[in-house]
Amino acid sequence: MTAAETSTRRILIVDDDRTLRHILIGLLEAAGHTVEQAADGRAAMGLLDAGHYDLVVLDIGLPDVSGLDVLAHARGVASPPIVIMLTADDTPETLLAAVRRQAYRYVRKTFGPEAIVEFVEDAIAKASSAALTIEVVSARPEWLELVAPCTLEIADRIQMFVMQLDTTMPEPVRESVAQAFHELMINAIEWGGKLDPKRQVRIACVRTRRMWLYRIADPGEGFDINDLRHAAINNPATDPLQHATVREQHGLRPGGLGLMLTRSLVDEVIYNEKRNEVMLIKYLDEAKTGVS
């Protein structure tokens, strides 16, 4: 994106923290954007009704009208902006409310202003994908289920939402589960969905007292695992890099480690008969998670 293109972006900062507003305004104006501000939700809704904004950085904890209500209002204007939510609230209920109202990203205020600006630039660069809708089938902390277009950008958004659901899970466990989930979600979108935004992937994340279960169903015809010469899981012992050669010959992106890596990161990987649907299971250590 050129400097001329970014200079046309109109951004609205909505936060009752005057210092944070001014820091963000300075950083975003320095990046070439036109920036306006509001200190409360009622003023923000007035500005949204009066003019178009490409992106809104919106605090959830506003003093009068909730940021979630402003988000719902923003979704109803003629040309809805991309909305990045800021919050000091890390409860799953608040996150899921933002997901249901189609927030593009959910950022905890532990991030500094510079990081928030990076999130803004990323959202602007992916504006076409940001307009795609994630359908929320269920938005309960113990059962999140989404239906989404098959694009890599959507996969990144879903990954961010899903992995913030349980902040009590030990960090190494969260990271391993996140990596496994991401690998198989990308496989579903790329191979089952053919990177076609008109096709959809269905994703569920279910939490019980003793496990996390992730279910990913793609619109493809499935596959025979023995035919995947481009995947490292089928490399012969005599040629551990065969998959890399096959991928290069067919013009495929570097990779192919997903299936093999996933099996080392979670406790169980279970496919349906067609292999166009998979479940990942991670059992929880009650002593470490506090689950009883």
**What is the reported pLDDT for 58?**
97
38-42, 163-167, 221-225, 257-261 — which one is most confidently predicted on average?
38-42
Q: Do domains 3-130 and 135-289 have the same CATH topology?
A: no
**What is the reported pLDDT for 39?**
96
CB count in 10 Å sphere of residue 285: 12
Whole-number CA gyration radius for the chain: 21
Task: Looking at the structure, give the CATH architecture of the domain made up of residues 3-130.
Answer: 3-Layer(aba) Sandwich (3.40)
Instruction: For the chain, give the percent of residues with pLDDT over 90.
Output: 54
Q: What is the longest distance spanned by two Cα atoms in the chain? A: 67
Nearest to 142 by CA among 91, 92, 202, 216: 92
Question: Among 91-100, 138-147, 208-217, where is mean pLDDT lowest?
Answer: 91-100
Nearest to 223 by CA among 212, 215, 231, 211: 231
Tell whether the model's pLDDT for residue 287 goes beyond 50.
Answer: no
Q: Are 32 and 59 in contact (CB under 8 A)?
A: no
Average pLDDT for residues 127-139, to the nearest whole number?
87
Nearest to 123 by CA among 87, 82, 155, 71: 82
Which pLDDT band holds residue 281 (cuts at 50, 70, 90)?
A: very high
Tell whether the model's pLDDT for residue 108 goes beyond 90.
Answer: no
- Flag whether the pTM goes above 0.85: no
Tell whether the model's pLDDT for residue 288 goes beyond 70.
Answer: no
6-22 tens-digit pLDDT:
446 899 999 999 999 99
**What is the reported pLDDT for 20?**
94
**What is the reported pLDDT for 90?**
72
Question: Among 151-160, 172-181, 217-226, 270-279, where is mean pLDDT lowest?
Answer: 217-226
- Tokens found for residue 9: 């972006």
Tell whether the model's pLDDT for residue 70 goes beyond 70.
Answer: yes
Q: Where are the beta strands (DSSP E) in 157-218?
A: 200-207, 211-217
Q: How far apart are CA 82 and CA 124, in angstroms?
A: 8
111-128 tens-digit pLDDT:
889 999 999 999 998 888
Average model confidence (pLDDT) for the chain?
A: 84
Q: How far apart are CA 19 and CA 37, in angstroms?
A: 12
Domain boundaries along the sequence of the chain: 3-130, 135-289
Phi, psi angle pair for 187, to nearest 5°: -60, -45
Q: Are 66 and 140 in contact (CB under 8 A)?
A: no
Q: How far apart are CA 12 and CA 122, in angstroms?
A: 16
Tell whether the model's pLDDT for residue 62 goes beyond 70.
Answer: yes
Tell whether the model's pLDDT for residue 233 goes beyond 80.
Answer: no
89-104 tens-digit pLDDT:
778 888 899 989 999 9
Angle at the Cα of 94 from the Cα atoms of 89 and 98, rounded to 5 degrees: 120
* Matching CATH number, 135-289, of 3.30.1370.160, 3.30.565.10, 1.10.600.10, 2.60.40.1180: 3.30.565.10
Question: Among 159-173, 195-209, 239-253, 257-271, where is mean pLDDT lowest?
Answer: 239-253
Which residues sit opposite 200 in a β-bridge?
Answer: 149
